């Protein structure tokens, strides 16, 4: 069976988001090359808000990795990286962007590729990221701000009910003290490049805007949960949410989040479903399968199976909203300090996924097991067990989110079909 | 290979401790001494010992663990975790270490932090009834004033924790613990001198065994036996064969050394907390316990999270330049960290004309492919030739 091509965009917002991001990147390249303006490369879990506040455009490593992968370029660059002596067992998700700048043919990179940044920044969550970013910074001859990552020891139940208002205690004061110090160091490094003065009042206003943006996403989530059939495909949820998150708190981001909410609301009011024949609701757990976006629409026709959930939309409101912004820098620290625990590790990740599955009336979950990007694997089995114990059938998808080498789309679709037929189909 | 050498009773005693890793801890427990476990080299041994407890490294032999794969564990811990972490997880769930008064897990690597979270979760779900009380020693390894302050505070907290569980530390008990630990370090350093690149009288297998035993032993007794071994070894003739340095993935077993030495080479150094870097420098007894321990472990203990890399590479670069004939990079399938350092470190050696070989096979496995034997044999033959 030929692989389907069904990545059509049903929402006007989705087209607008894609155009915005492409135009933003073209402007960034033009500014860097023609006007010698600086920009930064940073891990997705760094406080992008500070870059925006201090006038340093920032490219998220994971976003660029997804872009390279979606253009089917991951094999080219990762093979090139391996040829330089970096072995095949090293993490791919966080290194594909690096590979696209130092291995293979950089001229083939999407949209002209990444120019030389003025700064790189990463939180040292796993043990490999300091190596990826240090090597990358050395190749670019650019400074790196490496922020260390503390461990959590206070992990009370139902974190998502505490994180909006009770974040000062939820994320442990000593951890927030430490990360706030790391953020001040980052601020100094950015200021050295742009000369823009850091103002706490401006950060507070930006944080308030981020709250507003995430509140719109909260409404979208509620709409998806309550609607008889899912009004917006998962792919389109991800495109709208993540493009907005990369620019979070900006006027464009807040406006786009509102427009997205409005469009989804209108679809619900008009009883428009993403797939009118929806019979099964699926959950996708893990990072997106960036090299095969069509995968997510592959089971609609035969099984009426629609992916309704991924972490990208749901984590916006649950992970980002912070009320009580007396100390906005500390609130910002609290937003990122435990992302890893919230999304990937027990008990928080498994507990949250089960809650989300129930709210979204999910019939089954597909769980990515990316053995080529090992730090992203952790917690997978706990999540799987928790869902199964809640009566939700699960299927592990052994694949990498960005590395298409070794991915057999047809075989995996066959595996999912079998799973749907034997364990899920109504 | 160690076969054929005069390995007397001292080595046999250390070998027993290295292989039977729970033995001394169990004896202490049976004698009524509180036993506190830890999972890596970065936990201050002296702080535990100064309370009167017996500190022991919880690190079951991965060789044994591979033979006895625990099905219950496989449901919960993904195959992406290194074998050593999986073995620890498995043995804790099995109840092997239920006699521990506390298990201290340092944030010395990401898999170890996750081990802590996984164990907590097993306990929370009622599936870890035999898991001892857990403690995360949230010790950071980046060299910044902020990490230093944070680590110092966490070390003082750790001190309060172990004091609460056993007894408060006094200046006398701390000095005694430091003396014990430093005596063991001194005897390890003496053994290391007997395996220098210019003259070596100790095989790599023997060294890994003798040094590794310190993590599982009573260190006062260990120091005596290791000194005895050093005395015996000092009388041996020098060993022939090219001198190798091993770096990369930490080795909790001597199999790689045995493999290399079966081809006529001698491993004289490891960039590894299980080998040459186990002892490092002494802990000071003139500072308060928490500060003295923090200074030693923060500045001297190897960890995959030491940053920046110039610091992490310093030992390797210094040692490789000391008449080492060749360097082995060990990057088994478990590795997803040290491989990032390889091109940089390989280039450093190339510039200095030092040959290197990278091994990607798992040498903890009972057998390795013939192709690896051939590759090692060719490498040893190549480095036997005088350098141009």
- The string of pLDDT tens digits covering residues A39-71 is 999 999 999 999 999 999 999 999 999 999 999
Q: At what angle do helices A12-34 and A234-246 cross, to 10 degrees?
A: 30
pLDDT band of B365, cuts 50, 70, 90: confident
- Distance, CA of B290 to chain centre: 22
pLDDT over 80 at B250, yes or no: yes
Contact A112, A149 (CB under 8 A): no
Q: Touching check for B124 and chain A: CB below 8 Å?
A: yes
Listed residue (B148, B159, B42, B30) closest to B102, CA to CA: B159
In DSSP terms, A309 is beta-bridged to A283
Q: Touching check for B117 and chain A: CB below 8 Å?
A: yes
Listed residue (A270, A274, A311) closest to A8, CA to CA: A274
Cβ pair A382:B121 closer than 8 A:
yes
Q: Touching check for A191 and chain B: CB below 8 Å?
A: no
Q: What is the mean pLDDT of residues A272-297?
A: 97
Of B78, B107, B153, the CB nearest to A377: B78
Q: Touching check for A128 and chain B: CB below 8 Å?
A: yes
Q: How far is A277 from chain B, CA to nearest CA, in Å?
A: 36
- Exposed e or buried b for every residue in A263-302, given b needs 16+ CB within 10 A? bbbebbeeeebbbeebebbbbbbbbbbbbbbebbbbbbee
pLDDT tens per residue, range B132-187: 999 999 999 999 999 999 999 999 999 999 999 999 999 999 999 999 999 999 99
B residues 325-344 lying closer than 8 A (beta carbon) to A: 331, 333, 335-337, 339-344
Burial of B340: CB neighbours in 10 Å, binned 0-12, 13-18, 19+:
buried
Contacts of residue A381 in chain B, CB cutoff 8 Å?
Answer: 75-78
The average confidence (pLDDT) of chain A is 95
pLDDT over 50 at A4, yes or no: no
Q: How far is the first Cα of chain A from the last one, in angstroms, to the nearest whole number?
A: 23
- Distance, CA of A125 to chain centre: 16
Instruction: List, as one string, the DSSP characters of A163-179.
Output: TTT-HHHHT-HHHHHHH
Report residue B238 as tokens.
Answer: 């020098």
According to the model, what pLDDT value does residue B3 have?
35
Q: What is the mean pLDDT of residues A128-140?
A: 97
Instruction: List, as one string, the DSSP characters of B216-284.
Output: TS-HHHHHHHHHHHHHHHHTSPPP-S-EEEEEES--SSSHHHHHHHTTT-EEEEESSTTTTTSS-SPPP
Cβ pair B75:A381 closer than 8 A:
yes
Q: Touching check for A91 and chain B: CB below 8 Å?
A: yes
Report residue B80 as tokens.
Answer: 């992406």
- Distance, CA of B151 to chain centre: 21
B residues 204-223 lying closer than 8 A (beta carbon) to A: none
Instruction: List, as one string, the DSSP characters of A225-272.
Output: HHSSS-SS-HHHHHHHHHHHHHTTTSHHHHHHHHHHHHHHHHHHHTT-
Measured CA to CA in angstroms, residue A311 lies from A285, A307, A357, B289 at distances of 7, 12, 11, 45
pLDDT band of B71, cuts 50, 70, 90: low
- Residue B141 to residue B129: CA distance in whole angstroms: 32
Phi, psi of A369 (to 5 degrees): -120, 85
Of B141, B153, B335, the CB nearest to A174: B153
According to the model, what pLDDT value does residue B66 have?
57
Q: How far is the first Cα of chain B from the last one, in angstroms, to the nearest whole number?
A: 29
Contact A126, B83 (CB under 8 A): no
- Residue B135 to residue B262: CA distance in whole angstroms: 42
Q: Strand B326-330's sheet: what is its strand order?
A: B266-270, B243-248, B326-330, B355-359
- Residue A394 to residue A392: CA distance in whole angstroms: 6
Contact B265, B380 (CB under 8 A): yes
According to the model, what pLDDT value does residue B65 have?
59
Of B77, B107, B146, the CB nearest to A178: B146
According to the model, what pLDDT value does residue B72 have?
61
Lowest mean pLDDT of B281-285, B344-348, B381-385, name the range: B381-385
Structure letter (DSSP) for residue A421: I
Q: Touching check for A45 and chain B: CB below 8 Å?
A: no
According to the model, what pLDDT value does residue B298 have?
97
pLDDT tens per residue, range A332-349: 999 999 999 999 999 999
According to the model, what pLDDT value does residue A33 have?
86
Listed residue (A233, A256, A234) closest to A244, CA to CA: A256
Structure letter (DSSP) for residue B215: G
Q: Which residues have C-beta within 8 Å of that of residue B149, sequence separation ≥ 6?
A: none
According to the model, what pLDDT value does residue B179 have?
97
Q: How far is B167 from chain A, CA to nearest CA, in Å?
A: 24
Residue with token string 């290391």? B192
Listed residue (A317, A244, A353, A329) closest to A14, CA to CA: A244
- Reported ipTM: the value is 0.96
- Residue B234 to residue B228: CA distance in whole angstroms: 10
Measured CA to CA in angstroms, residue A61 lies from A49, A68, A98, A118, A191 at distances of 15, 11, 8, 15, 21
- Coil/strand/helix, residue A95: coil
Q: How far is A283 from chain B, CA to nearest CA, in Å?
A: 21
According to the model, what pLDDT value does residue A266 have?
98
According to the model, what pLDDT value does residue A8 have?
72
The HSE-up count of residue A123 (CA atoms within 13 Å, CB side) is: 24
pLDDT over 80 at B121, yes or no: yes
Listed residue (A187, A85, A148, A141) closest to B308, CA to CA: A148
pLDDT tens per residue, range A139-193: 999 999 999 999 999 999 999 999 999 999 999 999 999 999 999 999 999 999 9
Of B107, B304, B340, the CB nearest to A132: B340
pLDDT over 90 at A425, yes or no: no
Q: What is the mean pLDDT of residues B85-93?
A: 93
Q: What is the mean pLDDT of residues B288-312?
A: 95
Contacts of residue B308 in chain A, CB cutoff 8 Å?
Answer: 134, 146
- Residue A250 to residue A213: CA distance in whole angstroms: 9
Q: What is the mean pLDDT of residues A380-393?
A: 98
CB pairs under 8 A between A and B: 118
Q: What is the mean pLDDT of residues A72-91?
A: 96
Contacts of residue A135 in chain B, CB cutoff 8 Å?
Answer: 340, 344
- B153, closest residue in chain A (CA to CA): A174
The average confidence (pLDDT) of chain B is 93
Of B114, B146, B339, the CB nearest to A181: B146
Q: Touching check for B366 and chain A: CB below 8 Å?
A: no
Cβ pair A128:B336 closer than 8 A:
yes
- Residue A272 to residue A281: CA distance in whole angstroms: 16
- A129, closest residue in chain B (CA to CA): B337
Report residue A105 as tokens.
Answer: 């043919």
Cβ pair A150:B307 closer than 8 A:
no
According to the model, what pLDDT value does residue B70 have?
57
What is the domain partition of chain B in residue ranges? Answer: 21-161
Cβ pair B117:A341 closer than 8 A:
yes
Contacts of residue A333 in chain B, CB cutoff 8 Å?
Answer: none
Q: Touching check for B153 and chain A: CB below 8 Å?
A: yes
Q: How far is A175 from chain B, CA to nearest CA, in Å?
A: 9
According to the model, what pLDDT value does residue B81 have?
94
Residue with token string 């203990």? B301
Q: What is the 3-state secondary structure (H, E, C) of A297-366?
A: HCCHHHHCEEEEECHHHHHHHHHHCCCCCCCHHHHHHHHHCCHHHHHHCCCHHHHHHHHHHHHCCCCEEE
Contacts of residue B360 in chain A, CB cutoff 8 Å?
Answer: 87
- Coil/strand/helix, residue A42: strand
Contacts of residue A87 in chain B, CB cutoff 8 Å?
Answer: 331, 335, 339, 342, 358, 360
What is the domain partition of chain A in residue ranges? Answer: 12-424
Cβ pair B140:A185 closer than 8 A:
no
In sign, the C-alpha dihedral spanning B318, B322, B327, B333 is negative
Percentage, residues of chain B above pLDDT 70: 94
Cβ pair B335:A375 closer than 8 A:
no
- Residue A126 to residue B82: CA distance in whole angstroms: 14
pLDDT over 50 at B1, yes or no: no
Report residue B104 as tokens.
Answer: 């201290």
Structure letter (DSSP) for residue B353: T
Report residue B214 as tokens.
Answer: 């310190």
Contacts of residue A182 in chain B, CB cutoff 8 Å?
Answer: 146
Tell me the residue length of chain A: 426
In sign, the C-alpha dihedral spanning A301, A354, A47, A287 is negative
A residues 221-260 lying closer than 8 A (beta carbon) to B: none
Report residue A30 as tokens.
Answer: 């033009």
Listed residue (A6, A9, A4, A5) closest to A236, CA to CA: A9
A residues 56-85 lying closer than 8 A (beta carbon) to B: 84-85
Measured CA to CA in angstroms, residue A411 lies from A2, A408, A423, B202 at distances of 12, 5, 18, 54
Residue with token string 């001892």? B132
Q: At what angle do helices A251-269 and A234-246 cross, to 10 degrees?
A: 160
Cβ pair A347:B120 closer than 8 A:
yes
According to the model, what pLDDT value does residue A2 have?
37
- Coil/strand/helix, residue B10: helix
Contacts of residue A375 in chain B, CB cutoff 8 Å?
Answer: 110, 336
B residues 69-88 lying closer than 8 A (beta carbon) to A: 75-81
Q: How far is A132 from chain B, CA to nearest CA, in Å?
A: 7
- B80, closest residue in chain A (CA to CA): A374
Q: Answer with the residue of higher pLDDT: B32 or A376.
A: B32
Q: Touching check for A394 and chain B: CB below 8 Å?
A: no
pLDDT tens per residue, range B255-290: 999 999 999 999 999 999 999 999 999 999 899 999
**Fold (CATH) for B21-161:** Rossmann fold (3.40.50)
Q: Touching check for B67 and chain A: CB below 8 Å?
A: no
According to the model, what pLDDT value does residue B197 have?
81
Contacts of residue A133 in chain B, CB cutoff 8 Å?
Answer: none
Q: Touching check for A130 and chain B: CB below 8 Å?
A: yes
Of B109, B305, B339, the CB nearest to A86: B339
Structure letter (DSSP) for residue A5: -
Q: What is the mean pLDDT of residues A378-384?
A: 97
Q: What is the mean pLDDT of residues B96-118?
A: 97
- A340, closest residue in chain B (CA to CA): B114
pLDDT over 90 at B67, yes or no: no
- B346, closest residue in chain A (CA to CA): A85
pLDDT band of B64, cuts 50, 70, 90: low
């Amino acid at each position: 069976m030929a692989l389907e091509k069904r990545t059509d965009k049903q929402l006007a917002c989705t087209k607008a988001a894609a155009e915005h991001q492409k135009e933003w990147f073209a402007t960034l390249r033009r500014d860097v090359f023609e006007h010698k303006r600086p920009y930064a490369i940073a891990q997705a879990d760094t406080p992008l808000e500070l870059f925006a506040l201090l006038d340093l455009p920032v490219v998220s490593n994971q976003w660029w990795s997804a872009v390279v992968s979606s253009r089917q370029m991951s094999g080219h660059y990762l093979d090139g990286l391996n040829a330089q002596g970096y072995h095949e067992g090293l993490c791919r998700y966080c290194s594909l962007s690096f590979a696209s700048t130092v291995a293979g043919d950089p001229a083939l990179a999407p949209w002209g590729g990444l120019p030389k940044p003025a700064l790189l920044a990463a939180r040292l969550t796993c043990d490999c990221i300091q190596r990826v970013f240090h090597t990358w910074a050395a190749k670019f001859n650019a400074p790196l701000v490496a922020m260390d990552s503390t461990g959590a020891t206070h992990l009370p139940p139902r974190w998502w009910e505490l994180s909006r208002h009770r974040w000062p205690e939820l994320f442990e004061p000593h951890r927030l003290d430490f990360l706030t110090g790391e953020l001040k160091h980052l601020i100094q490094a950015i200021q050295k490049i742009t000369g823009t003065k850091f103002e706490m009042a401006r950060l507070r206003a930006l944080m308030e805007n981020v709250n507003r943006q995430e509140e719109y996403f909260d409404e979208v989530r509620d709409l998806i949960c309550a609607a008889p059939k899912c009004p917006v495909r998962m792919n389109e949820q991800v495109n709208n949410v993540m493009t907005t998150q990369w620019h979070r708190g900006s006027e464009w981001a807040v406006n786009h989040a509102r427009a997205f909410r409005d469009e989804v609301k209108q679809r619900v009011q008009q009883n428009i479903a993403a797939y009118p024949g929806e019979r099964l609701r699926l959950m996708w757990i893990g990072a997106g399968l960036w090299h095969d976006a069509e995968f997510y629409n592959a089971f609609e026709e035969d099984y009426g199976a629609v992916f309704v959930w991924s972490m990208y939309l749901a984590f916006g409101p649950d992970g980002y909203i912070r009320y009580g912004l007396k100390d906005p820098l500390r609130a910002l620290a609290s937003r990122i300090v435990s992302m890893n625990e919230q999304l990937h590790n027990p008990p928080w990740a498994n507990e949250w996924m089960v809650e989300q599955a129930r709210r979204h009336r999910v019939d089954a979950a597909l769980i990515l097991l990316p053995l080529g990007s090992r730090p992203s694997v952790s917690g997978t089995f706990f999540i799987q067990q928790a869902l199964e114990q809640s009566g939700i059938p699960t299927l592990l998808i052994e694949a990498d989110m960005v590395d298409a080498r070794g991915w057999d789309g047809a075989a995996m679709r066959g595996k999912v079909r079998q799973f749907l037929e034997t364990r899920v189909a109504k | 290979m160690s076969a054929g050498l005069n390995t007397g009773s001292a080595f046999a005693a250390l070998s027993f401790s290295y292989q039977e890793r729970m033995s001394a801890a169990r004896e202490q427990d049976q004698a009524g001494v509180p036993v506190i476990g830890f999972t890596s080299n970065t936990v201050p041994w002296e702080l535990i010992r100064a309370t009167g407890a017996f500190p022991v490294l919880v690190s079951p032999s991965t060789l044994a663990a591979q033979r006895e794969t625990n099905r219950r564990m496989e449901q919960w811990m993904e195959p992406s975790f290194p074998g050593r972490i999986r073995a620890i997880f498995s043995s804790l769930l099995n109840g092997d270490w239920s006699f521990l008064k506390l298990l201290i897990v340092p944030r010395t690597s990401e898999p170890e932090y996750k081990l802590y979270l996984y164990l907590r979760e097993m306990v929370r779900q009622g599936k870890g009834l035999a898991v001892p009380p857990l403690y995360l020693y949230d010790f950071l390894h980046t060299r910044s004033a902020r990490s230093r302050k944070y680590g110092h505070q966490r070390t003082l907290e750790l001190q309060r924790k172990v004091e609460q569980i056993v007894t408060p530390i006094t200046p006398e008990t701390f000095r005694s613990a430091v003396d014990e630990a430093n005596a063991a370090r001194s005897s390890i350093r003496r053994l290391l001198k007997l395996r220098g690149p210019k003259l070596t009288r100790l095989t790599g297998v023997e060294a890994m065994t003798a040094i590794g035993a310190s993590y599982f032993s009573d260190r006062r007794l260990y120091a005596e036996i290791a000194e005895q071994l050093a005395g015996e070894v000092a009388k041996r003739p020098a060993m022939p064969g090219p001198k190798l340095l091993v770096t990369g993935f930490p080795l909790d077993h001597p199999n790689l050394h045995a493999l290399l030495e079966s081809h006529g080479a001698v491993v004289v150094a490891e960039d590894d907390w299980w080998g040459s870097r186990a002892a490092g420098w002494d802990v000071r007894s003139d500072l308060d316990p928490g500060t003295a321990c923090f200074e030693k472990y923060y500045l001297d203990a190897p960890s995959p999270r030491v940053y920046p890399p110039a610091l992490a590479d310093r030992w390797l670069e210094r040692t490789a330049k000391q008449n080492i004939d060749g360097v082995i990079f060990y990057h088994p399938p478990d590795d997803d960290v040290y491989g990032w350092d390889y091109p940089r470190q390989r280039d450093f050696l190339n510039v200095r004309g030092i040959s290197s070989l990278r091994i990607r096979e798992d040498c903890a496995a009972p057998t390795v492919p013939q192709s690896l034997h051939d590759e090692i044999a060719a490498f040893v033959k190549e480095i036997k030739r005088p350098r141009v």
